[in-house]
Amino acid sequence: MRTNGPDLDAIVDFVRALVGQLAHVDPRVSASAATGAGQPAQVDQFSLIHPPSLGDTLDALAASLGARAATLVLGETAADSVVWTPAIKPMVQEYFSDWVGRDPREARVQPALGAGFAVDQDYFTPGQIARDPYYQDFLRPHGLGWAASCSLADVPAPLVLSLKRELDEGPFALEHVQRGDLALPLLRRGAMLATDAWRAALRGQLQWLDRMQRGAIVLDRQARVLEFNDTALGDLGVRIVGGRLRAHFPAEAQRLDACIAATLADRSPIPVPHTLLLHSAQGARPVLAECASLRTLQPGLPGTAAIVVVLRNLDAEPAQEQRHAALRTLFGLSPRDATLCLLLAEGLPMSECAARAGISVDHARQRAKRIYARTSMRGHAALAALVARL
């Protein structure tokens, strides 16, 4: 029996979308690191953004290979590491809501990079499939019953393509597997190109931070170092030991670990940076460390990059910028509150402080109460003395 060849147009479109996905790094890194004090810290997307075309091209690729749907998973299976074809969006949402940890394929199906497509029957007997709740209570109600999976890459993390057939279509036949295997060399070459593009784009962004004299270290979901720029290797209060980011001083190491852990665990809709002050190896220079989530808010393929740690030598910045950053870090003041705090410390009348901060006098008074409460200071003189020490 002659096997029809793969649809080259579908493969090319998919590869182009994958390369575009992984190569596009959002230039909006830490706003506070990029523009200095007085600006909102909005690091939430120094990451790989999600072109809407990737899911559509995945849909076309699945159809060309005899499947009705498909998923593409980079690294561990998580809601922000999966791309799916549009038709199965409700099913994927249910999976992450109710079936994470109950999918037997997670433990058994581990496609090897050098192997071809593997189907369910390679891992499970018909009896096991007939009895398993995942197949019978989850896939069957959605009209799906069969899968074929392969590995496309293993760097920066395993990239697994899973094709899915409807229940009434029956399992993947030999001709479908052969058609998929014919497409694999092109798909794997495209995945390799996408990986190279991802690395190049990420390194370009880190070099951009080099020019701003900012150290930057990108970590994965296990807090392992993926990439870093040259500035990060300077005397900025941290070092890389065994692939992990460590503070120079033991007293600060635990706080840095906690800051990284909090950033990794942050699932808020709009993550904000977690900050702390470190010191250089000489013990004198203050270094502001900002840990920012790279988690995106839409389903896509963000890669294994999870957070970026941006390091700023405050001694190299103007005194007011240094104080502004310290007020935000030490007392949790918002950028606008920190600006108002510096104005109040100058002994200016409330009306002038409000005018310079661009807010009403009543609003300034409300913010001033919050500033005094956060800093535990009483009066302008005490506040001025505090600011002078920063």
Higher pLDDT, 246 or 222: 246
Residue 99 to residues 95, 105, 159: CA-CA distances in angstroms? 5, 12, 21
Q: Is-above-0.85 flag for pTM?
A: no
Ranges 178-187, 208-217, 272-281, most confident: 178-187
Q: What domains can you pick out in the chain, each with its CATH number? A: 8-28+50-199 (3.30.450.80), 318-390 (1.10.10.10)
Give Cβ neighbours of residue 299 (< 8 Å, ≥ 6 apart): 50, 55, 79, 80, 82, 83, 84, 89, 92
Strand runs labelled E in the chain: 69-74, 82-84, 118-119, 144-153, 159-166, 215-220, 225-228, 238-241, 244-247, 274-279, 286-293, 305-313
Q: What is the pLDDT of residue 235?
A: 87
C-beta separation of 147 from 138 below 8 A = no
Residue 364 to residues 136, 174, 368: CA-CA distances in angstroms? 62, 73, 6
Higher pLDDT, 44 or 119: 119
State yes or no: pLDDT of 8 exceeds 70. yes
pLDDT tens per residue, range 209-221 = 888 788 999 998 8
State yes or no: pLDDT of 31 exceeds 80. no
State yes or no: pLDDT of 301 exceeds 60. no
State yes or no: pLDDT of 278 exceeds 50. yes
**Residue corresponding to tokens 């395993």:** 158
